[in-house]
Chain A
Amino acid sequence: MRYLTGIHLSRRALLRGAGVTLALPLLESMIPAGMRTAAAAGAPRARLACVYIPHGCIMNRWVPTATGRGFELQPILKPLEPYRDRLNIVSGLKLPAAYVGESSAAANHGRSSQCWLTCTPQDTGPTPTSADQVAARQIGQGTPLPSLELALEAGASIAYLSPQTPLPMETNPRVVFERLLGDGSTPAERAARQRQLSSLLDSVTGEVAALKRDLPGADRERLDRYLTDVRELERRLALAADSPLASIEVPDKPNGIPADFEEHAMLMFDLLALAWAADLTRVATFMVSRELSNRVYPKSGVTEGFHNASHHSEIPANIDRLARLNEYHTRTTIAYFLRKLASTPDGGGSLLDHSLIVYGSGMANPNQHDHDPLPILLAGGGVGRLAGGRHLRATDGTPFANLLVSVLNKLDVHVDSFGDSTGAFEI
């Protein structure tokens, strides 16, 4: 592979490069493959995961009453007690972008997840790239996958390359496994398949220029996106060829989506931890469920569908019921993930020490479909840059984007502002 090109180049640069395999200007984002080895040898790498839960939660059972360090964990977050030292609960944040647009309930649900990491009103603004993708552009270029998008339920996404390009989120553990490790049943077979894939993509790249002739301008742009993706895949293949997988214990290939929610969640978080441990990616987004999902979680003891349960009408029994579901999600998803990370060694510490995880929702009280104050917490040590064991209270109405600015900066992704941020919320 000559140069690394990819999704992170401007479309115009690619246009110029289309059909011409060299003479591309060496842009900042075009990092040669060799860089990765250099980075791998150095200090521990920071990883980012943004984990989304829909339908908000019962806020007074999430937010601790005391601020600072001496707080008591509320019931919904109780399962995180063992990782208290690695937690920062951030309360008082708001998602202003999610208020912009059609005011129907369905639209508010949709925007809760769509705006969560873009912090930009839909269909406006020049750069509604989501925060994880901003991070991937900087810290994801040295790995085979700039980012990994996972979900336990299909049909939505929180990761956006552009407003027209939400990144699909994968729910099938088997497919994730194949994306991480390649198709085939033995390492030799996998290597042969990767070689074939590589030549397939090479061959396709060459013909796109000819295909663009006589297409309307808008269609040419769509075809360019296809080309961009082809090149992105080529780049990944080149990086994967020298992946340090030898030192990682590769589990058996999963067979499909487990019917049991908890098993599914564990498998997907295991795969994400594997991807981090093997340095196949450093950035991930994860949706525990999607907005408006009416999935039933039989093991939670709640028989009502999730979305129905979220409409608690402020009735105490219904509030209890939703809080139970909220606690169930904490216990079966983020708590498991943190346990897995804490027990996975990584460069003299654990993966938990070297990661930064944003967990929460873009909705606050689901009964009102509002987006203020949000349930948000940070986990992980951020490679020694993030203290823990704190409840930080933001001034009411502080944009969630202000927190994301600080999160990005902790990861050495230097931004002054992001989305509708009004500053940085210091962490």
Chain B
Amino acid sequence: MQRRAWLVAVSVTAVIGGGAALHQAMRRTADAAPRPVLDRYCVGCHNDDDLAGGVSFTKIDKSDVGKNAKMWEAAARKLRAGLMPPKGERRPERAVLDAAADWFERELDAAWDRAPNPGVRPLARLNRTEYANAVRDLLDYDANGIAATLPADVSVAGFDNIAAALSVSPALLEGYALAAMQIGRRAAGDLSMGHSETRYAAAPGNSQQRHIEGLPLGTRGGIAVEHNFPLDAEYEIAVQAVLPAAGWGNPTGRMVWCDGPSVELAFNGAPLALDGHRRIRVRAPAGPQRVTAALVDGKRCAGVNELYLGEVALEGAVLGIVIDGPYNATGAGDTPSRRKIFVCDPRSAADEAPCAARILAQLATRAFRRPVSVGSAELEQLLEFYRLGRGEGGGFEVGIQYALSRLLVDPRFLYKFEREPPDVAVGAIYRISDLELASRLSFFLWSSIPDDELLEAAAADRLRDSQELARQVERMLADDRAQRFVENFTGQWLRLRELDDFPSQDPEWDADLRAAFRRETELFFADVLREKRDVLTLLDADYTYLNERLAAHYGIDGVRDSYMRRVALPPDSPRRGLLGQGSLLTVTSAPNRTSPVGRGQWIVRNLLGAAVPSPPPGAAADLAKEAVAKTQLAGDTVRERLEMHRANPTCAVCHAIMDPVGLALENFDLVGRWREQEDGHPVNAATELTDGTRLAGAADLRAALLSRSDAFVAALTERLMTYALGRELEYYDRPVARRVVRDATAHGRTLQALVQAIVASDSFQERVKTGADTTATGVAAQARLE
């Protein structure tokens, strides 16, 4: 009930003087608390009686904001994003509110400097993605297939690398242990392994009607996979396909094998039952090989790709490939992983032990992210396992397999250890070691373990030198592995990971469109990163990345074929910046319609960095009752249903903030196509933001966000910091985030500058010692401020 009162409360405070005068007064007393602003525009609702949002400014000591830093941080944020005072309440001109926000932020920063707090990240295990990447970098072995069978990681604060959520369970540990054994066997080449089947399904739907990128010209649909053949051996490969009952003129199944000559499958016109398949047995060398299968329509000229574009009338498709093996193995072969592992080859029994020690010391150093020397206790544990495996009768290589499995379940590999120095007092701040910093850095930028160069720099304590550290960051961002940062960060921040399973019911929704959406956004983000562009480019860019399919989807002419390339956009293009990209517009929609609420909520949270207030108790029930009373409204356009939301004072508090933002994008349909009409009615994308800005549509929304670019840069920085630190940000991280923004702004405000500033920040390089306290981390650290 208390909250309901807040919803209808209207400020009755007498207003003396205009906004401009107030602004001047504020300027004159730059160092005083903006009490007049609070008194005039805030305490009408935020007082002890109404407690709007659980916040009262009445009795709070406004002279030392450090005492209530958490609350003031939230207040400053609301002002920055233009979300307070709410619509319908009295509001001064923007400069007054911005000046108030400036004052709070300055005071909060000063309070932080008096009592710094870099926070504490709990002990984290590698998540599934990091695990697969680490195995790849350690052994040159693609473990994605095996890692996919591990239990999924929990996502917290929008990311799956948040330490507190990365707990273990018996099922998880069992998964890691089984994976370790499988990887050990396969990476080293286990000659005793039995055969097993791997199935690859072709992307269903419209994709099978068109040429697929990477398959030979002249083919239609199909599938291309990279299969890791474990041994030099024979394999049975079956292609599952459906051919039309009526038949084409002379349909030919074609399989392209190991980048070598293609194998004609005996489809040639012979009728094939539905779900029929053709099986061939081939001898394959161990290691990753590309296997593709596609259909060729004998009636059409091969090699002319365009012939198939837009073609939907043909039946028939490749359903998938099944690879079964190995049979009649002749050897472990020469694979990338074996080259990486077997750095020496014992010629005699006497050579074996020193060679094993050498192999394992090198791998353990990389896996444990710290020097492991021959003769150390850590190495001895691995050698013990090597001897166990060797004793099982398989000789030297089986010994190495066993030791590899042991290495991969070692807590030093699975966990990111950060130790507390014994000579530091509990509660004091200390810098983490260079080796720990190297790990933080590599998991941030590569989602994986450090490489030898980074490890060597850390082992020699060279990362203490800020120039060397910056040089390493630059080198790492230029490396191919930085693509993982692009994929994992955009995959979660911009929700690209959701595209694969997104159940849109649009008839054009298929694997090609999903892939093009994802790649457009990834390439765009990577471009802004690598080309060192101002991060505001993310909101407004004169280019994007398209292929023919996506260009057609966007109504852009002149882009042919299936590869993605950079395309210039005119000033009036709706596709400028993230808000015009199909990926984001789709995942923030419902499966069967647009969702202005979903879009608005995402933008407010992720581009303006504001928490969306929660509905008070009973809100949903009230709305339901109202819906029954007004059934004539239900079922009409989305916009009309939203008007109902906002007509209800209970709902309006949140929806007045989110809905207008989303409504401005209504010219984009549920999969991001541009539309002028919806169900025969003209689309109305005109709307008004909380701060009174009137918008005619998407272009105006983009301009409005650019006019709040500080809020956007802050929001992006905080998302980046959450990802980089692997923990949820707390109020005491906000001053650090602001410093990061200031430092980056001084260096061109590029994504690279933001990354550099985060790496250079106290939060990235320091910890608070918590000692024996087990209640944890954030709590102990927070106590420092109180």
Contacts and interface: CB of A to CB of B under 8 A. Distances in A.
Q: Which of B125, B171, B182 has the most CB of A within 10 A?
A: B171
A281 to B, nearest CB: 12
Nearest to A199: B388
A178 to B, nearest CB: 7
Contact of A200 (B154, B406, B631): B406
Contact of A216 (B173, B174, B194, B770): B770
Contacts, number: 184
Interface string B409-437: 11110110111111000000000000000
B173 A305 contact: no
Nearest to A317: B635
A249 to B, nearest CB: 21
A204 B182 contact: no
A170 B619 CA distance: 35
Contacts of B125: 226
Contacts of A196: 181, 402, 405
B592 A170 contact: no
Contacts of A304: 591-592
B774 A149 contact: no
Interface stretch (A229-237, A335-343, A418-426): A229-237
A260 interface: no
A218 B181 contact: no
Contacts of B411: 204, 207-208, 211, 223, 226
B196 A185 contact: yes
A315 B634 contact: yes
B151 A168 contact: yes
B503 interface: yes
Interface in B578-635: 590-592, 614-621, 624, 627-628, 631, 634-635
Contacts of A313: 624, 627-628, 634
A216 B775 CA distance: 11
B614 A308 contact: no
B144 interface: no
B212 to A, nearest CB: 19
Given A207-B411, A223-B123, A305-B591, A218 B773 contact: yes
Interface stretch (B90-98, B162-170, B308-316, B686-694): B162-170
Interface stretch (A58-66, A103-111, A270-278, A354-362): A103-111
Interface string A9-48: 0000000000000000000000000000000000000000
A368 B164 CA distance: 32
Given A203-B384, A211-B411, A305-B592, A221 B774 contact: yes
A214 B149 contact: no
A225 B172 CA distance: 12
A184 B420 CA distance: 42
A207 B381 contact: yes
Interface in A168-211: 168-170, 172, 174-175, 178-179, 183-186, 189, 193, 196-197, 199-201, 203-204, 207-208, 210-211
A229 to B, nearest CB: 4
A215 interface: yes
Interface string A156-176: 000001001111111010110
Nearest to A157: B154
Contacts of B405: 196, 200
B120 interface: yes
A226 B177 CA distance: 12
28 contacts: A103-B614, A103-B618, A104-B614, A107-B614, A165-B169, A168-B169, A169-B151, A175-B149, A183-B182, A197-B181, A200-B409, A203-B406, A204-B406, A207-B410, A214-B421, A215-B419, A216-B420, A216-B772, A218-B122, A222-B122, A222-B123, A226-B415, A294-B503, A308-B591, A315-B631, A367-B624, A368-B621, A370-B621
Interface of B: 120, 122-123, 125, 149, 151-152, 154, 164, 167-175, 177-178, 180-182, 194-197, 199, 201, 377, 381, 384-385, 388, 402, 405-406, 409-412, 414-415, 417-422, 503, 505, 590-592, 614-621, 624, 627-628, 631, 634-635, 769-777
Given A219-B122, A220-B774, A233-B173, 5 more contacts: A167-B171, A196-B405, A218-B777, A223-B411, A304-B592
Interface of A: 7, 102-105, 107-108, 149, 154-155, 161, 164-170, 172, 174-175, 178-179, 183-186, 189, 193, 196-197, 199-201, 203-204, 207-208, 210-211, 213-223, 225-226, 229-230, 232-233, 236, 255-256, 259, 294-296, 303-305, 308, 313-315, 367-370
